[in-house]
């Protein structure tokens, strides 16, 4: 599978009681496809997949795939602490029509040896022959999956088509490209798309851009069109937008509540996100957020050819 460009991680909206808001999820799928994203990533960290039950994750996958109707590729995250549950989720997602499945490293037991991680993915790969994406998130899984280990995992399971790097630099992208070859997809930070996509980065899976996906879509389009002056301006806007949402003072005040406020700023009537209790923005911060969005929209004012 070849996915390049804006690979959007979709947030899962919830009802006030913590159940999945399926109606809003369908609206989000249509919205993101409508603005031109290249693919959807479901039930990852930003999608709160690990915070849901197995039955809820299966129900979410079914809703998304029904709504997407093969308009863009959809990859469902199926990572869990053990291979058996991961395989069960993946088989369900593929039977429901997913184009591929993703797996973070087995989490919670952060003292896994590299051999244990390799055996986990080998067991998954033996059971799942569809396209697989690795999700290397050292902060959440508790340990890194470096380029050399990724290469071994792909040797075991050639259907592994790429990996999301939760963090990293252009140098990290180049290291993974040199280690894993030209046919391996590498999704890294949106803050390095330009020049990342010129030196081997396939695209980005960026949670902050779920609140301003047009920025990412236009940036990718400018890079593809070799309109590098426009790409530079849009890259600056992406960095400023993401940096604002990740400001430490804002995180201390509202936690992931800033992400809910940002999505509501788009006009999306999301009742609850994330699934757990979190803070809220103060009235002053809401005014600040409006200014952040105004600056991002100003950067979008000049159309890309």
Return the CATH number at 145. Answer: 3.20.20.70
Q: Of 32, 135, 143, 187, which one is the catalytic site residue?
A: 135
Assess if residue 305 is contained within a domain: no
Give me the pLDDT at residue 304, please.
Answer: 43
- pLDDT tens for 64-81 read 999 999 999 999 999 999
304 inside domain: no
User: Could you report the per-residue pLDDT of 186-232, keeping only the tens digit for each?
Assistant: 999 999 999 999 999 999 999 999 999 999 999 999 999 999 999 99
- 267 within a domain of the structure (yes/no): yes
Q: Does 278 map to a domain? A: yes
Residues of the chain above pLDDT 70, percent: 99
- Note whether residue 266 is domain-resident: yes
Confirm whether 157 is domain-assigned.
yes
Mean pLDDT, range 49-61, rounded to an integer? 98
At a CB cut-off of 8 Å and minimum separation 6, what does 41 contact? 7, 8, 9, 10, 47, 75, 77, 102, 164, 205
Segment 164-189, tens digit of pLDDT: 998 778 999 999 999 999 999 999 99
In a domain, 147, yes or no: yes
Q: Which domain holds residue 258?
A: 5-299
Q: Which of 32, 58, 143, 164 is catalytic?
A: 164
Alpha-carbon distance of 301 to 286, in angstroms, equals 23
Angstrom distance (rounded) from CA 96 to CA 266:
30
- pTM (predicted TM-score): 0.96
Catalytic: 135? yes
Q: Look at the chain and report how many structural domains it folds into.
A: 1
Q: What local confidence, expressed as pLDDT, does residue 301 receive?
A: 87
Report whether pLDDT(273) > 80: yes
212 inside domain: yes
């Amino acid at each position: 599978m070849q996915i390049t460009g804006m690979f959007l991680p979709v947030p899962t909206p919830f009802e006030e009681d913590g159940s999945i808001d399926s109606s809003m999820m369908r609206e989000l799928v249509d919205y993101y496809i409508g603005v031109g994203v290249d693919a959807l990533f479901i039930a990852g960290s930003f999608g709160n997949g690990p915070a849901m039950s197995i039955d809820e994750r299966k129900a979410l996958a079914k809703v998304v795939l029904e709504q997407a109707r093969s308009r863009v590729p959809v990859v469902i995250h199926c990572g869990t602490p053990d291979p058996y549950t991961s395989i069960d989720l993946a088989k369900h997602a593929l039977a429901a029509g997913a184009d591929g499945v993703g797996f973070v490293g087995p989490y919670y037991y952060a003292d896994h040896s590299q051999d244990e991680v390799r055996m986990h993915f080998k067991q998954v790969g033996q059971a799942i022959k569809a396209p697989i994406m690795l999700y290397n998130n050292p902060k959440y899984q508790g340990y890194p999956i470096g380029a050399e280990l990724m290469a071994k995992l792909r040797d075991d399971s050639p259907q592994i088509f790429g990996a999301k790097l939760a963090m990293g630099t252009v140098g990290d992208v180049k290291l993974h490209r040199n280690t894993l070859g030209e046919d391996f997809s590498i999704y890294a930070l949106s803050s390095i798309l330009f020049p990342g996509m010129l030196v081997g980065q396939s695209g980005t899976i960026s949670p902050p851009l779920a609140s301003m996906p047009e920025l990412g879509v236009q940036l990718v389009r400018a890079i593809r069109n070799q309109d590098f002056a426009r790409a530079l301006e849009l890259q600056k806007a992406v960095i400023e937008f993401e940096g604002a949402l990740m400001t430490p003072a804002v995180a201390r005040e509202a936690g992931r509540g800033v992400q809910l406020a940002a999505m509501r700023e788009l006009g999306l009537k999301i009742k609850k996100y994330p699934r757990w209790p979190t803070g809220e923005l103060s009235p002053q911060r809401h005014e600040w957020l409006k200014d952040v969005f105004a600056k991002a929209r100003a950067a979008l004012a000049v159309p890309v050819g």
